[in-house]
Amino acid sequence: MSTDEKNAAGRARVPRGRERSARAPAEPVRQRRLPPNERQVLIVEGAVSYFAEVGFEGQVRELASRLGVTNALLFRYFPTKEDLVERVYQQVYLGRWRPEWEDWLKDRSQPLEARLKKFYRSYLTMIFTYEWIRIFFFAGLRGVNINERYLHMLETRVVMPICEEVRDCYRLPEKSLVPITDVERDAVWGLQGQILYISIRRYIYNQDVGAPEVIADNAVDVFLSGISAVALAASGGGRVA
């Protein structure tokens, strides 16, 4: 047997495990170090996507795994899951709220119909998203303190102001004379529910929604077609001269 043949035979008899160990080890994948503020933003954005997909039953360790970080690093920024959920609430629900919406609703230089349609078309751009509606529903099912706080804000900033603007539009007594009734509040909540349902159809029921803005406009038209009679009866039936 020639020298080359002996060397070839020797290589063939090397066990596979040893052959691998003789190779140079692969370079470990290193994460790029990020400034703390950038890392925190990435964690929150990842949490928004994660909770929208799996709900609040999802485990923090699974979130950390998806983000490619350790549990220890995640807890360095958010010591508890509740802290992380709070930040998600601030980003998705408070951070996207537009203060000018309240001014639009109260701008009596514009007809009430125009104000409502302008507001709800803009408001729809916030809630007509996968993350917004799914997190909202998961929070309600899980009992996470997101819905209660958001709905309280909505009543203060949207529902009650609309009730007052309806009173003014139809020359009915101001709330200082006749308090806003539950019947009036429920009517406005009904309109609010119709707007919300547009997003539910798309991202909960997975239905095609052709023109959300047109659906919102139609909801306002239906609301205005009946609210004057509701408000008139609820406020005692007296019109202001």
Structure tokens at 217: 């406009």
| pLDDT at 34 (0 to 100) | 77
| pLDDT at 15 (0 to 100) | 45
Structure tokens at 140: 């309600």
| pLDDT at 207 (0 to 100) | 96
Distance CA 239, CA 176 (A): 15
Cβ proximity of 97 and 156 under 8 Å: no
Write the CA distances from 228 to 25, 80, 144, 176, 217, integer angstroms: 77, 49, 37, 19, 18
Q: Which residues of the chain have pLDDT under 50?
A: 6, 8-30
| pLDDT at 83 (0 to 100) | 96
Q: Which amino acid is at 97?
A: W
| pLDDT at 29 (0 to 100) | 39
| pLDDT at 31 (0 to 100) | 55
Concatenate the DSSP letters of all residues of 141-182 into one string.
HHT-TTHHHHHHHHIIIIIHHHHHHHHHHTTPPPTTTSPPPH
Closest CA to 84 of 110, 61, 109, 53: 61
Q: In what helix (H) or strand (E) does residue 62 lie, and over which residues does it extend?
A: helix 60-67
pTM here is 0.82
Residue 216, C-beta contacts closer than 8 angstroms, at least 6 positions apart: 117, 120, 121, 124, 195, 198
Cβ proximity of 127 and 195 under 8 Å: yes
